[in-house]
């Protein structure tokens, strides 16, 4: 879906950039989203927040993950 109509920035692009570790501000700077009318800024920020935990989970190596009951 298009998140920023002014710059034609899609949610897929935002997710890809967030998965690379970019912050909401960096995503907006790279794509131009939020630089015209600004209406999409909260949505871009929220999408980045939602995408980043998933990206970190995918990058975790098994040896980095401890069982919950481990001290």
pLDDT tens, residue by residue, 36-61: 999 999 999 999 999 876 555 555 45
pLDDT for 66 equals 55
pTM of the model: 0.73
pLDDT for 52 equals 79
Residue with tokens 């879906």: 1
pLDDT for 57 equals 53
CATH 1.10.10.1100 fits domain 2-61? yes
What is the spatial distance between Cα 38 and Cα 65, in angstroms, rounded to a whole number?
39
Identify which of 54, 13, 55 has the alpha carbon closest to the alpha carbon of residue 30.
Answer: 13
Per residue in 5-47, pLDDT tens?
Answer: 999 999 999 999 999 999 999 999 999 999 999 999 999 999 9
């Amino acid at each position: 879906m298009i998140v920023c109509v002014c710059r034609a920035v899609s949610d897929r692009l935002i997710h890809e950039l967030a998965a690379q570790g970019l912050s909401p501000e960096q995503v907006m700077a790279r794509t131009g989203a939020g630089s015209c009318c600004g209406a999409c800024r909260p949505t871009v920020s929220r999408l980045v927040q939602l995408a980043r935990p998933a990206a970190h989970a995918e990058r975790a190596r098994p040896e980095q993950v401890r069982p919950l009951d481990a001290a």
